[in-house]
A and B are shown apart, each in its own frame.
Chain A
Amino acid sequence: MATITELNVNGQRRPLDADGQRTLLSVLRDDLDLTGTKYGCGEGQCGACTVLIDGVPTRACLTSLDEVGQRPVTTIEGIERDGGLHPLQQAFLDADALQCGYCTSGMIVSALALLREKPAPSENEIVHAMNGNICRCGTYRRIVAAIQKAAEELWRPTP
């Protein structure tokens, strides 16, 4: 069994001692205390465990540590900017786009990937891109509104 000794996460090289067959989700949560990434289904169907690997939204529950290698991983804990909320995080709050909040990390990380790819997505594009993320509390329309608002915010030229 290969042992992995380091993970590049949120811009830091984090020392580790973990079996390479373990899932990225379990290592982030249990070994690195990055518990913002959630377990929801273990089959890539709910999106609660979404992280970015090399900027690509990825289900951490289906990704082994071996597969990650040295590629940079971004989790919900790594997206605040200058100590303040990212416009997407702020937009989720402004739209009250959560109830229990358990899906929220995965929603924000998935939306971040979408906005990097498509800075001004249409409503249909948002729905299509986010359809793999489940919110059982049913705040979908608010999440769409939050993403639209964040897109506007990110487009606005800095004064």
Chain B
Amino acid sequence: MNEPTLFEPERYELAADPLYQFDVKFDFHRRRFFELLGCGLAVLLLTEEGDAQESGFGRRGFRGGQRPAQIAAWLHVGDDGTVTVFTGKAEVGQNIRTSLAQMVAEELRTPVASVRMVMADTERTPFDMGTFGSRTTPDMGRQLARVAAAAREALLDLAAEHFQADRASLRADGGKIVRAGSDEAVGYGQLTKGQQILKSVAADQATATAEKWTVAGTSVAKLDRREFVTGRHKYASDVKRPGMWHGKVLRPSAFEATLAEVDLRDAEAIEGVVAVHDDNFVGVAARDDFTAEQAIDDIHAKWAAKPQTASDTLFDDLRKNASEGGGRFGGRSSGSIEVGLAAADQQLKQTYTVAYIAHAPLEPRAAVAEWTDDKLTVWTGTQRPFGVRGELAQAFGMPEERVHVIVPDTGSGYGGKHSGEAAVEAARLAKAAGRPVKLVWTREEEFTWAYFRPAGVIDVVSGVRNDGTLTAWDFVNYNSGGSAINMPYEVPNQRIAFRPSRSPLRQGSYRALAATANTFARETHLDELARLVGLDPLAFRGKNLKDARMLAVLDAAAEAFGWDHAMPEAGRGRGIAVGTEKGSFVATCAEVAADRQTGAVRVLRAVAAFECGAVVNPNHLKNQIEGAIVMGLGGALFEKIEFADGAIRNAAFSSYRVPRFRDAPTIDVVLVDRKHLPPIGAGETPIIAIAPAIGNAIFDATGVRLRSLPMTPRGFTTIAPAPSS
């Protein structure tokens, strides 16, 4: 049954309603363009063409009213032939700086080395909702390809004039326009020299299909790569401004605690310290971080905290506090569960849970804030530069035009850097100190005051006939979300629901959102059903799947893994899982070594087959998939936030275990490249099938079925109590 694909809206944190931000005019005019970059050719893509809405909100983001003409993307061809591309997207390690440059170079027929990407800067780049939801490649990539194609056409027009020749005799190649049947050529820079040409993209501007790509579709190396291996790249936490001080914030004793009393005098007595108390915010700025820490220690504060629940009762609480309304995922049914169960030979009812986990980006939240007159400039690592601009404007009661947010390529995010807490805090301290202030969150702060992947409880009731035909599918997700909640297998009778709950912790986006939880529950349950009717898990899936793209990745993964060949040796098991989300498809096989006696579990090998339309950069895509498998392995086996009394109990890498070298299995990736399909995003979906593949392999090895993520939180020493026989 093919439901239309629905994307779960992103969960925003501490953000103004983003819908209103579209009304802020991106007020570039002709003079400004050329002031910024000098003479040349500038090509704009306006959103009024109905092409350019950018975001996880998809095409439902506007509630009436007229939008001003907005620029979605633009590029500039300068006198020296340099192509400068402007996009509000942020580079957080997913290598879009490279892949977007490839898509521009492809259409503009110019070397990638001549393309310069200006990204995520609220004064220089067009408005963008944020870098999330795997939308960069399908939306921004397509937009920039169109802008580049329009620039190429404009250059051909200029060249026709230059040569006084028929346009049909000219072609663009290697940053030049070449005249057929002669060795005459003119560089892009030469054509635009001294001119100020402003063009917009025609509504019917076509782009090349992937079959014709020569630059896109190849493994171009990461742009700026040398900066990263020499330590020269400046992350937000590396930015230094003249006269800059260092900030530190006094954190409340517990979540939602309020400040009862505070005494700043001892801190203020330290030379070169400014202390701030403003509402619930208490912080200091000092000439170095050591002094700032001392000053914070010298602040005497009392907090009033409320009693709060603990992780022990989490799943009961989520179920108890659930509400009916789950938005577009609140309820969906076809056929009748009762009829489906009556038609079944076997029924199965199981519950699956997922814990809160932390993104733990290696670069914690960081910001440098600087006030000049009444204008604020902030360098920070975020996936939503314009959202953070809105947060800052709101926090300081000033218009967004006076706030400038600059996002240097960031030390990762994984959906965890949608919010601007550090930016707001640094700006408040800088205002008080009268000088630029840098604030870098500690690891403990990042683990505590950011937000978490939602925990969840999933109840599944199913029916299956002994020949392996699914007859009923009843699936309810409490709290974790609706992504990938749809049933991709053929089942005539289904009822699917997402029930939001009251979360005891601050929760938000995480790579692939709830697709990980929903795919874990579904693919584990299907493995249980396959065992119940005595079918091979691969054959059972094949029998109930009709979607050709799902089947293609499933077969590709099974073949590369060697599913049909040698059975694993004793103590080893193999598992398989498949899923789809955000329009892409993944199947993952895992081989584990698991010891019933000691409980030791180790993932030896993982194979993933992935399909996301046409592949833009095969090597970077493989890197993303490998990384998603390693990250997913952490959530599968041991990552788990523990909390009680409004505090995180394991807010450190010594107590919150993340995957390390020793945990990383051998990984083989099969790319199912579909050149006739447009490219789509790939940073998220590869994470969704690894947990059930591992769990199913653990069952295969041990006969122990694990239904809670993480499955082996005590590391390699304890799986779960052995089932009583």
User: Which A residues contact B (CB, under 8 angstroms)?
Assistant: 18-19, 21-23, 26, 29-31, 33-43, 45-46, 48, 75-77, 80, 85, 89-90, 92-93, 96, 98-105, 108, 126-128, 130-144
Contacts and interface: CB of A to CB of B under 8 A. Distances in A.
Which of B231, B289, B654 is the most central at the interface, judged by chain A CB atoms within 10 Å of its CB? B231
B445 to A, nearest CB: 10
Given A127-B662, A140-B661, A96 B620 contact: yes
Contacts of A100: 92-93, 361-363, 409-412
Interface in B338-368: 360-364
A99 B221 contact: no
Contacts, number: 172
B288 A22 contact: yes
A75 B231 CA distance: 9
B77 interface: no
Contacts of A130: 661
Contacts of B620: 96
A93 B93 CA distance: 14
Contact of A137 (B442, B443, B627, B653): B627
Nearest to B438: A30
B302 to A, nearest CB: 26
Contacts of A137: 93, 412, 627, 631
Nearest to A19: B290
B232 interface: yes
Interface residues of B, number: 58
What's the dominant secondary structure at chain A's contact region? loop
A141 B228 contact: no
Contact of B229 (A29, A42, A75, A85): A85
B619 A96 contact: yes
B104 interface: no
26 contacts: A19-B290, A21-B290, A22-B290, A35-B231, A36-B231, A40-B362, A41-B652, A43-B443, A46-B443, A46-B653, A77-B230, A90-B229, A96-B222, A99-B623, A100-B92, A100-B409, A101-B228, A102-B363, A136-B360, A136-B362, A137-B627, A138-B629, A138-B631, A140-B659, A141-B667, A142-B623
B362 A134 contact: yes
B341 to A, nearest CB: 41
The 5 A-B pairs at the shortest CB distance, nearest first, are namely A36-B231, A100-B93, A138-B630, A102-B411, A101-B228
Interface in B234-260: 234-235, 237-238, 240, 246
B475 interface: no
Contact of A102 (B235, B662, B666): B235
A134 B626 contact: no
Nearest to A92: B229
B216 interface: no
Given A99-B95, A137-B412, A108 B229 contact: yes
Interface of B: 92-95, 221-222, 225-235, 237-238, 240, 246, 288-290, 360-364, 409-412, 414, 440, 442-443, 619-620, 623-624, 626-631, 652-654, 658-662, 664, 666-667
Which of A29, A131, A141, A143 is the most central at the interface, judged by chain B CB atoms within 10 Å of its CB? A141
A87 to B, nearest CB: 11
Contacts of B235: 38, 102
B244 to A, nearest CB: 9
Contact of A104 (B221, B229, B662): B229
B237 A85 contact: no
A43 B652 contact: yes
A77 B222 CA distance: 20
Contacts of A138: 626-631, 659, 664
A89 B626 contact: no
A103 B362 contact: yes
Nearest to B246: A30
B310 to A, nearest CB: 24
A142 B362 contact: no
A4 to B, nearest CB: 12
Contacts of B234: 35
A141 B664 contact: yes
Contacts of B410: 100
A49 to B, nearest CB: 11
Given A36-B232, A46-B362, A77-B230, A127 B661 contact: yes
A26 B620 CA distance: 33
Contacts of A98: 93, 222, 228-229
A89 B231 CA distance: 10
A132 B229 CA distance: 19
Nearest to B663: A140
B653 A43 contact: yes
A41 B443 contact: yes
B626 A142 contact: yes
